[in-house]
């Protein structure tokens, strides 16, 4: 958000210990935001909170697994107990599972990704919504271009991002006239290192950064675009020209788009 919009703005950021979430926390702290930072890693989260305080923001580190509904409720309750309100909720936490659906032997892995990527945002939004309505606040959903396109593999990540898109776009319509804005963000590849942590069908992390992530959008740039979109209460942001062109191509030549997407997984 702009410096004026962020000053003393109470912002909940999930997935704040690394990647996009960490950069969001830093940029918001630079602007004087009051932050409630959520992630599973207590140690990393504490380091991010410390850096946010050094940068001039207030920061509360709240270790949270967003896949667990009671922990999402506690995250919101503890934020309100500390700051008295919530102005902005940034649903950013995410995980991924890479591989062919037909190779998956344990559907618990599929469910785990959906619970983090989709239900985590649903849970946090549910418990924060009454507070956001009081503050006429902002809901930000950090989705993915994979929430707009199919994938060559029937991945849990793609399924959850499509669900996320449908839920938050519908929530926007439900909240029309309430003063609460809903912004859905569709990044393409971002240099966060996340692909090395993506799970294989056997549950092991991939262990290496995908070639598609190398040379991708810098995470600082992605975070800045999200902060700016939140400040102006944009409806949605499709971050890359290639992504916007792809959406047009899918309308006029869907089979061509499918061939391109299949080639990306080869």
24-37 pLDDT, tens digit per residue, is 999 999 999 999 99
Rg of the chain, C-alpha, whole Å: 18
Nearest residue to 2 via CA among 257, 224, 254: 224
d(CA 171, CA 220): 28
Total domains in the fold of the chain: 1
For residues 10 and 208, which has the higher predicted lDDT (pLDDT)? 10
Q: Does position 209 have pLDDT exceeding 60, yes or no?
A: yes
Per-residue pLDDT, 215: 76
205 assigned to some structural domain: yes
Per-residue pLDDT, 204: 75
| Given the residues 26, 123, 127, 157, the one annotated as active site | 157
Query: 221: which residues sit within 8 A by CB, 6+ positions away?
Result: none
- Domain enclosing residue 166, as ranges: 3-240
Per-residue pLDDT, 213: 67
256 assigned to some structural domain: no
Q: End-to-end CA distance of the chain: give it in Å, rounded.
A: 39
251 assigned to some structural domain: no
d(CA 14, CA 161): 16
Q: Does position 10 have pLDDT exceeding 80, yes or no?
A: yes
263 assigned to some structural domain: no
What is the share, in percent, of the chain residues with pLDDT greater than 90?
65
CATH number at residue 23: 3.40.50.720
* Mean model confidence pLDDT for the chain: 90
- pLDDT tens for 38-51 read 999 999 999 999 99
Q: Is 117 exposed, middle or buried (0-12, 13-18, 19+ CB in 10 A)?
A: buried
Where is average pLDDT lowest: 14-18, 90-94, 179-183, 246-250? 246-250
72 assigned to some structural domain: yes
Token pair listed for 76: 């919101």
Nearest residue to 213 via CA among 19, 55, 56: 19
Would you give the DSSP letter of residue 228? H
Nearest residue to 36 via CA among 50, 53, 49: 49
Residue 4 confidence class, pLDDT cut points 50, 70, 90: low
44 assigned to some structural domain: yes
- pLDDT tens for 42-89 read 999 999 999 999 999 999 999 999 999 999 999 999 999 999 999 999
157 is catalytic: yes
Where is average pLDDT lowest: 92-106, 122-136, 204-218? 204-218
258 assigned to some structural domain: no
For residues 27 and 2, which has the higher predicted lDDT (pLDDT)? 27
């Amino acid at each position: 958000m702009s410096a004026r919009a962020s000053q003393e703005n109470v912002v909940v950021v999930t997935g704040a210990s690394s990647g996009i979430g960490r950069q969001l926390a830093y940029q918001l702290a630079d602007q004087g935001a009051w932050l409630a930072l959520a992630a599973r890693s207590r140690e990393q989260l504490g380091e991010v909170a410390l850096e946010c305080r050094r940068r001039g923001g207030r920061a509360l580190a709240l270790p949270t697994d967003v896949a667990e509904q009671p922990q999402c409720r506690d995250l919101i309750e503890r934020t309100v107990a500390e700051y008295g309100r919530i102005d902005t909720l940034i649903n950013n936490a995410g995980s991924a599972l890479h591989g062919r659906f037909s190779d998956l032997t344990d559907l618990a892995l599929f469910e785990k990704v959906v619970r983090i990527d989709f239900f985590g945002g649903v849970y946090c939004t549910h418990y924060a919504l009454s507070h956001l309505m009081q503050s006429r606040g902002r809901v930000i959903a950090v989705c993915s271009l994979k929430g707009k396109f199919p994938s060559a593999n029937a991945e849990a990540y793609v399924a959850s991002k499509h669900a996320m898109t449908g839920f938050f776009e519908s929530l926007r319509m439900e909240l029309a006239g309430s003063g609460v804005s809903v912004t859905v963000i569709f990044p393409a590849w971002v240099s966060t290192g996340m692909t090395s942590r993506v799970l294989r069908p056997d549950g092991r992390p991939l262990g290496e950064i995908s070639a598609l992530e190398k040379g991708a959008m810098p995470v600082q740039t992605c975070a800045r675009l999200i902060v700016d979109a939140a400040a102006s209460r944009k409806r949605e942001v499709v971050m890359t020209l290639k992504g916007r062109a792809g959406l047009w191509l899918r309308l006029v030549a869907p089979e061509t788009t499918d061939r391109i997407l299949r080639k990306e997984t080869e």
